[in-house]
């Protein structure tokens, strides 16, 4: 199904979560304003935008603290309404966006947004495919279980693999935000390789120092 991003969408700002296109994100909704957001989304187009809170958000968390303007919209693919009014939902990322302003007419946050194309061209698809094995090796090397063979599903398309690694690998939130802001999936793939190479060097360096250097 093809989704067209509306000009105004509800946004759910969090301090440590970044959503990427075509990646799934489970969320537990418990604040009253965001319960209202989910109820309204379920009654309309199912779209919620995820944005990352800027550092220092704690001072105004109950209000409208600053967020990074680049986010990703998702569509609710599953929802479970709990007896006390909370929700468990699953979002699937559909499109990157840039916030251009906010609408304060609801208890939750509404943003005016413009879509940002993120999908690769055919030549970029070929370049991403050529980097897949390097990504798989680096993912194995950059984890505590580096000696295991990488077990990334072959059925996952290359661009979705890049986005899933960007979302779920153990990066810092600001590193994930930087990956989201990359100009397209190929640029994100190359930045991801750089981050994983740095992680691998750090792990190897730590082990080398720990082994005793005279």
Residue range 139-170, pLDDT digits in tens: 888 776 545 444 566 778 999 999 999 999 98
CA-nearest of 47, 174, 162, 29 to 113 is 47
Q: Is the pLDDT confidence value at 173 over 70? A: yes
CATH of domain 8-116: 2.30.130.40
DSSP 187: H
Distance, CA of 159 to chain centre? 14
The reported pLDDT for the residue numbered 65 is: 84
Share of the chain above pLDDT 90, in %: 70
- pLDDT of 213 over the 50 cut: no
Task: Give the whole-angstrom CA distance, residue 178 versus residue 176.
Answer: 5
Pairwise CA distance, residues 112 & 10, whole Å: 9
d(CA 143, CA 111) in angstroms, rounded, equals 37
Locate the DSSP E strands across the chain: 8-14, 24-29, 47-52, 70-81, 87-103, 109-116
User: Taking 60 as the threshold, does the pLDDT of residue 207 lie above it?
Assistant: no
pTM of the model: 0.88
Span 169-197, average pLDDT:
95
For residues 123-137, average pLDDT? 92
Region 182-189: mean pLDDT is 96
Is the pLDDT score of 211 beyond 50?
no
């Amino acid at each position: 199904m093809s989704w067209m991003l509306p000009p105004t969408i509800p946004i759910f700002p969090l301090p440590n979560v970044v959503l990427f296109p075509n990646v799934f994100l489970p969320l537990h909704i418990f604040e009253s304003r965001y319960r209202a957001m989910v109820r309204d989304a379920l009654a309309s187009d199912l779209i919620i935008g995820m944005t990352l809170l800027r550092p220092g958000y704690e001072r105004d968390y109950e209000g409208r603290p600053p967020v990074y303007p680049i986010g990703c919209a998702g569509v609710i693919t599953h929802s479970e309404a709990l007896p006390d009014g909370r929700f468990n939902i699953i979002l699937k990322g559909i499109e990157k966006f840039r916030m251009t302003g906010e609408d304060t007419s609801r208890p939750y946050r509404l943003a005016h947004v413009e879509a940002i194309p993120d999908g690769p061209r055919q030549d970029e698809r070929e370049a991403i495919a050529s980097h897949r094995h390097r990504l798989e090796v680096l993912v194995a090397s950059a984890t505590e279980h580096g000696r295991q063979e990488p077990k990334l599903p072959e059925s996952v398309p290359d661009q979705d693999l890049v986005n899933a690694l960007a979302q779920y690998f153990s990066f810092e939130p600001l590193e994930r935000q930087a990956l989201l802001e990359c100009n397209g999936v190929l640029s994100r793939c190359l930045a991801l390789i750089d981050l994983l190479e740095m992680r691998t060097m750090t792990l190897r360096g730590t082990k080398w120092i720990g082994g005793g250097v005279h």
